[in-house]
Structure 1
Amino acid sequence: MIEVTRGDGPIVLGLPHTGTELPDDIRAGLNETGLALADTDWHIDRLYSGLRDDVTLVRQVEHRYVIDVNRPPDGESLYPGQNTTGLCPLSDFDGLPIHRPGAEPDAEEIERRRAVFHAPYHAGLSTELARVKEKHGVAILYDCHSIRSVIPRLFDGRLPDFNIGTNLSTSCAPVVEKTVEKICAAAEGYTSVTNGRFRGGWTTRHYGAPETGIHAIQMELAQSTYMEETAPWRWDSAMAERLRGHLAQILNALSDLVKSGALR
């Protein structure tokens, strides 16, 4: 199931990993680790809420342990040779199994989930991008993510605060990438990187085609910038409000690019 909130502006926010819902049959197959839902992009919908009143939001309500809508539908790895999680994850980010023995989804079940959950999310995203592009001549897909800042299985050391992904500068016009980079670099007390460990998931890579007027960029935030990174994953109001100011600046600047005609 997806939630769509339509706005009149040129930006579409993708929210693929904020959902925590689990269908009963899938919940029954998860072990204690899986039921903890530790790999949720906690509070990301709240973090971006109200930053602009004209954005469109497309949100997946089921948890990524049901199916990861930011993975290719054929299950191909986004980062060959590196540890990652798949279309229907079998482990959490730390590599711990998330299913009860014998309850792992087989090929038939993965295909069912792809049809029931993955395809509708991307149908909704495609529809909204087409609508926004029709109205503005271009559309900017800004894919919203967050992750714990320290996960040794996935990356060395501590993750930068702002992780900008543009699929090696191919998913959006240079001015889009540079605009976001400049704001992040100027944010006092924060660190940033472009196309580091995270260069954009399937959503960014699939939709980002600047030559057609669709510009896609992923923002992976270190969760340490706005919340406690251990259960129960508490929101930190002071940190979050400070971060929200920078995120608003990014969305405002991207909208201004469209209004100025810089992307046409």
Structure 2
Amino acid sequence: MQTYSITSISNEKIKYLKKLGMKKMRETSGEFLVENIKIIHDALKSGFEPISLFATDDILRSRNENVDFIVKKIKDIFVISKNVNKSFSSLATPSGICAVFMVCKKEIDLSKKIVYLNGVSDPGNMGTIIRTCLAFGVENLVVDEKCADVYNPKTIHAAKDAIFKINIVRDTNLKILKKIKKEMKIYATSLEKGRDIKNISLEKKCAIVFGNEACGVDEKILDISDDFIKIDMSGKIESLNVAISAGIVLFETR
């Protein structure tokens, strides 16, 4: 392991890390930040090596088993001060470690189940759904242009290492959804049109659409859907959080 010290917030590498906090820069560069020891550890364990790694001296000397594993795997580490870490961190309390990863360009497998997200705007919900997909064996996730950024720090915090382990593709103008329709049935979640998920037998190869937290699935998507599903609930509540709904539906259709 070779270490290089960075003590100034004016350092070009530090300025770049700060820019990666912006969606536009992440999209332009194809890179994103991870500020979590466990996620970095799990990414490395799964074969995903960061472009660069930054850590405070305290973290490197912490005797944490995850840190020890990371240090053994990384050739070059930039040692930063707590002040430098604070200058670019998106966290209220900086973690003391940061890795830059390349966005993995993947393609969906049209022979398997697909989850399609339409306008899921909260990064926390997005991340939770990504992690839920991995938990229930769904390898393909498509997000439309109205969704939160997959590589937003809050999304990554909720998704954990699942961000590296499933195929995530962004759709625009329903182009991918229309391709999906040619290969399999599309089931859209709908409180008005849907039948209870327990009373429907979904094909193993199908697409399930979850909509925006407030408005649900867009009419354009409902129009091209083959069937509609919902979760039967007591009359005491009208709807569930989209991430919770996704968890229930994917559990019932696993």
TM over 0.5: no
More strand by share: 2
Question: Whose radius of gyration is greater, 1 or 2?
Answer: 2
| TM-score, normalising length: structure 1 | 0.30
| TM-score, normalising length: structure 2 | 0.31
